[in-house]
């Protein structure tokens, strides 16, 4: 029989790597608290119609990448490919709009897309993100950008680039789409198969195509910023004002030139790949990530809640990929080492050491003991490998004297301690060492 293996694009995250993920989640959580966001957790399985309706029928996600399955009933369900749709569903389902005027949620968890697994792209991938619902203020858009920047700083990611644009509202988008139609009409043969389909179904999405042939054509396409209505233009200026006010200056860039992370590049070529976006869209990219270079991305979705049957509420959100952030993060998480390792010799000493060890654990002292009948020498090596600060040696001789030998693994100094004082003395030493 073949040895079992995990599915392609679905990885095990083992100790050694997971500590960095935990640190990223913890730091992100601290930043979310500072900005007033509360956690929400929604189910991993949802009805497939939820994503058809929100993400959009003509997106790659819905067309090609859904992990769908048939539930017992006639309902078709799927593993969530992203989180915003589920949060909006929950927001409507629990009538949150009636309970609070402004809602700020954050989340962390796995998402699923049936893509060809490659560098930087998994089929089960993890995202941290947030949604702010109930305001169309430009300053809220700026807040989301500050929030992401602060998370990236907290997890020691540098050298990223912030790119910002606006894709307008349902009022100004038709005019821009008409201009695109006119522009791409004569060049349709130069576009890839997908883009030729997009030309008919959702022309904006052509701007999203990464294929080289298409990119050549896209670069000379009309800029969305020339087609924004007055209201959208004012909103977009407001976002830049918010960013400028508190330390992220914005520049317009024709090609997306790299600048340092404390600045924001206005790049009118950003189109997020989902149907629900309106107005502000943004991406945080990192040059070390290769072709899948987005660390975080998001945008405003002012019509989605209304379109999904809720009372219309303006909203904005983002998500950040934990795998990609972890790949470029300079965080070095501390390893979890036992404070004390017990090295007993002989059955009677083992039983005594075992009893004391449990007592110490109950006092909050990380303690470990050998479970493999090792020799004293091998136990000392094990303690060293685990990074224990102290080793407690207990042989027959010590047991008779009712003492234990405490060895400082750093200085190699040893001392005898009365068996009855071990718990109290070791506990107080741990307190001192933590100061």
Would you say 170 or 412 has its CB closer to Zn ion? 170
Would you say 172 or 304 has its CB closer to Zn ion? 172
| Strands 103-112, 38-39: pairing kind | parallel
**Can you tell me which of 96, 209, 357, 380 binds Zn ion, judged by CB under 5 A?**
209
Based on the shown chain and the rule CB under 5 A, indicate whether residue 153 belongs to the binding site for Zn ion.
no
Segment holding 432, helix H or strand E: helix 422-434
Dihedrals phi, psi of 121, to nearest 5 degrees: -140, 110
- Residue 372 in tokens: 């493999």
CB-count burial class (<10 Å; 0-12, 13-18, 19+) for 363: middle
- How many CB atoms lie under 10 A from the CB of residue 355? 11
Sketch the per residue contact string, 158 through 187, with Zn ion: x for CB under 5 A, - otherwise: ----------xx-xx---------------
Residue 189 CB, nearest approach to Zn ion (Å):
12
Residue 84 CB, nearest approach to Zn ion (Å):
21
Dihedrals phi, psi of 408, to nearest 5 degrees: -80, 115
Least Cα distance to 303 among 133, 94, 139 occurs for: 133
Cα–Cα distance list, 383 to 62, 141, 368, 413 (Å): 52, 51, 9, 15
Cα–Cα distance list, 143 to 35, 97, 236, 239, 294 (Å): 8, 21, 14, 9, 19
Based on the shown chain and the rule CB under 5 A, indicate whether residue 211 belongs to the binding site for Zn ion.
yes
- Segment contacting Zn ion (CB under 5 A): 26-34, 72-80, 188-196, 284-292? 188-196
Distance of CA 413 to the CA centre of its chain: 45
Would you say 109 or 273 has its CB closer to Zn ion? 273
Residue 233 CB, nearest approach to Zn ion (Å):
8
Residue 132 CB, nearest approach to Zn ion (Å):
20
Based on the shown chain and the rule CB under 5 A, indicate whether residue 195 belongs to the binding site for Zn ion.
yes
Residue 266 CB, nearest approach to Zn ion (Å):
17
Question: Contacts with Zn ion: how many residues (CB under 5 A)?
Answer: 11
Dihedrals phi, psi of 61, to nearest 5 degrees: -55, -50
Sketch the per residue contact string, 284 through 313, with Zn ion: x for CB under 5 A, - otherwise: ------------------------------
Sketch the per residue contact string, 215 through 234, with Zn ion: x for CB under 5 A, - otherwise: --------------x--x--
- Distance in Å from the first CA to the final CA of the chain: 54
- Segment contacting Zn ion (CB under 5 A): 115-123, 127-135, 190-198, 377-385? 190-198
Would you say 122 or 205 has its CB closer to Zn ion? 205
**Can you tell me which of 13, 50, 179, 192 binds Zn ion, judged by CB under 5 A?**
192
Which positions lie near Zn ion, rule CB under 5 A? 168-169, 171-172, 192, 195, 209, 211, 214, 229, 232
């Amino acid at each position: 029989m073949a040895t079992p293996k995990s599915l392609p694009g679905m990885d095990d995250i083992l100790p050694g790597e997971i500590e960095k993920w935990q640190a990223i989640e913890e730091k992100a959580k601290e930043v979310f608290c500072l900005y007033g966001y509360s956690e929400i957790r929604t189910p991993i399985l949802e009805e497939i119609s939820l994503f058809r309706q929100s993400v959009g029928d003509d997106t790659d996600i819905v067309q090609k990448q859904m992990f769908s399955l048939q539930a017992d009933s006639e309902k078709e369900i799927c593993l969530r490919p992203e989180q915003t749709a589920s949060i909006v569903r929950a927001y409507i389902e629990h009538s949150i709009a009636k309970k609070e005027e402004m809602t700020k949620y954050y989340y962390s968890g796995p998402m699923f897309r049936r893509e060809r697994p490659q560098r930087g792209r998994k089929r089960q991938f993890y995202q941290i993100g947030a949604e702010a619902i109930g305001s169309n203020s430009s300053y809220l858009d700026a807040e989301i950008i500050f929030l992401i920047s602060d998370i990236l700083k907290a997890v020691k990611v540098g050298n990223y680039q912030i790119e910002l644009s606006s894709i307008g509202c349902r009022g100004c988008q038709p005019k821009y789409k008409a201009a695109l139609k006119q522009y791409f009409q004569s060049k349709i043969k130069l576009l890839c198969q997908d883009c030729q389909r997009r030309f008919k179904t959702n022309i904006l999405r052509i701007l999203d195509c990464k294929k080289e042939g298409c990119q050549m054509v896209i670069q000379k396409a009309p800029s969305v910023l020339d087609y924004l209505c007055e209201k959208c233009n004012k909103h977009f200026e407001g976002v830049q004002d918010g960013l400028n006010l508190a330390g992220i200056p914005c520049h317009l860039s024709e090609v997306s030139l790299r600048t340092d992370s404390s600045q924001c590049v206005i790049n009118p070529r950003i189109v997020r790949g989902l149907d629900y976006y309106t107005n502000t869209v943004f991406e945080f990219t990192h040059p070390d990530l290769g072709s899948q270079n987005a660390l975080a991305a998001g945008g405003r979705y002012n019509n989605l809640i209304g379109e999904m049957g809720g009372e219309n509420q303006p909203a904005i959100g983002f998500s950040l990929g934990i795998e990609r952030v972890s790949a470029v993060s300079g965080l070095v998480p501390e390893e979890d080492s036992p404070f004390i390792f017990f090295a007993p010799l002989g059955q009677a000493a083992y039983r005594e050491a075992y009893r004391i060890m449990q007592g110490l654990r109950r006092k909050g002292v990380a303690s470990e003991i050998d479970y493999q009948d090792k020799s004293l020498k091998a136990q000392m090596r094990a303690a060293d490998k685990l990074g224990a600060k102290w080793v407690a040696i207990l042989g027959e001789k010590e047991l008779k004297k009712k003492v234990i030998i405490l060895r400082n693994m750093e200085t190699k100094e040893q001392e005898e301690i009365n068996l009855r004082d071990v718990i109290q003395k070791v506990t107080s030493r741990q307190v001192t060492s933590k100061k």
